[in-house]
Homo-oligomer: A and B are copies of this chain.
Amino acid sequence: MRDGPSPATEGTETFVELARTGGARVERIASRAVSGGAWYEQGWAEFVLLVAGGARLAFADGTEHALSPGDWVHLPAGCRHRVAWTDPTAETIWLAFHLPAGPG
């Protein structure tokens, strides 16, 4: 249940929506050899888990956070972040859980 489309070319990412209800979404992301991806700043929280490969997330304050398979990060709403790097030798697979905006 982890197979899916692969990114065609280096430095790109492929997104597939796996589930969506009640304003929440589950997304599979496949990355290959990303280096300095686009910045994201979302009005909702995201919970991201690295399934395979390796990656580093960068934050607006200049810090970076390395992720190995099984590691996860909670990105609160408004947390500016981007993919700084993914393993150039293997495909990196993520699951991203987009939580609806608003209180619990």
Residues 66-81 of chain A, each 1 if its beta carbon lies under 8 Å from chain B, else 0? 0001111110010000
Asked if A22 is at the interface (CB within 8 A of a chain B CB), the reply is: yes
Chain B residues with CB below 8 A from A71, complex form: 1-2
Asked if A15 is at the interface (CB within 8 A of a chain B CB), the reply is: no
Copies of the chain in the assembly: 2
Q: Interface residues of A toward B: which range?
A: 20 to 34
A-B contact pairs, 7 of them (CB 8 A): A1-B71, A1-B72, A1-B73, A2-B71, A19-B74, A23-B24, A24-B99
Residues of A within 8 A of B (CB): 1-2, 18-26, 44-45, 47, 49, 51-52, 69-74, 77, 93, 95, 97, 99-104
